[in-house]
Homo-oligomer: A and B are copies of this chain.
Amino acid sequence: MEAKENGASENAGRVMDGPTNPMVTPLLTDLYQFTMAYAYWKAGKHNERAVFDLYFRKNPFGGEFTVFAGLEECIKFIANFNLTEEEISFICESLPGSCEEGFFNYLREVDCSDVEVYAISEGTVVFPKVPLLRVEGPIAVVQLLETPLLNLVNFASLVATNAARHRLVAGKSKMLLEFGLRRAQGPDGAIGASKYCYIGGFDATSNVAAGRLFRIPLRGTHSHAFVSSFMSPDEILERSMCSSDGSSTCEDFVSLVQSWLNKIQWSKSLSGIFGETNQSELAAFMSYALAFPNNFLALVDTYDVMRSGVPNFCAVALALSDLGYKAVGIRLDSGDLAYLSSEARKIFNAVEKEFGVPGFGKMSITASNDLNEETLDALNKQGHEVDCFGIGTYLVTCYAQAALGCVFKLVEINNQPRIKLSEDVSKVSMPCKKRCYRLYGKEGYSLVDILTGENEPCPQVGERILCRHPFNESKRAYVVPKRVEVLLKCYWPGKSDKVREELPALKDIRDHCIKQLEQMRPDHMRRLNPTPYKVSVSAKLYDFIHFLWLNEAPVGELQ
Could you tell me which A residues sit within 8 Å of B by CB distance?
A: 1-3, 5-7, 10, 19-25, 27-36, 38-40, 42-45, 48, 50, 52, 84, 86-87, 90-91, 94, 96, 98, 139, 143, 146-148, 150-152, 154-156, 159, 179, 181-192, 206-209, 211-212, 218-226, 228-229, 231, 235-238, 275, 278, 287-288, 290-295, 302-304, 307-308, 334-335, 393, 397-399, 401-406, 408-410, 413, 416, 418-424, 427, 552, 554, 557
Q: Report the Cα distance A19→B186, complex, angstroms.
A: 12
Q: Which B residue sits closest to A179, measured CB to CB?
A: B30
List, in ascending order, chain B residues with CB within 8 A of A223's CB: 32, 36, 143, 146
A208 pairs with B554, CB closer than 8 A: no
Q: Report the Cα distance A91→B184, complex, angstroms.
A: 22
Q: Which of B52, B211, B401, B416 interacts with A94 by CB under 8 Å? A: B211
List, in ascending order, chain B residues with CB within 8 A of A139's CB: 229
Q: Report the Cα distance A235→B45, complex, angstroms.
A: 9
A554 pairs with B32, CB closer than 8 A: no
B22 pairs with A3, CB closer than 8 A: yes
A6-B6, A44-B238, A222-B35 known; A186 vs B410 contact (CB < 8 Å)? no
Q: Report the Cα distance A552→B279, complex, angstroms.
A: 11
List, in ascending order, chain B residues with CB within 8 A of A22's CB: 1-3, 6, 22-23
B185 pairs with A554, CB closer than 8 A: no
A238 pairs with B42, CB closer than 8 A: yes
A22-B6, A295-B96 known; A32 vs B222 contact (CB < 8 Å)? yes
B30 pairs with A182, CB closer than 8 A: yes
What are 26 pairs between A and B in contact, CB < 8 Å? Answer: A1-B25, A1-B87, A2-B22, A2-B25, A3-B25, A24-B187, A27-B208, A27-B209, A29-B181, A30-B182, A30-B206, A32-B220, A39-B290, A42-B287, A42-B290, A43-B290, A44-B238, A45-B235, A91-B208, A146-B182, A146-B225, A150-B182, A224-B420, A303-B554, A334-B422, A334-B427
Q: Which of B31, B308, B335 interacts with A211 by CB under 8 Å? A: B31
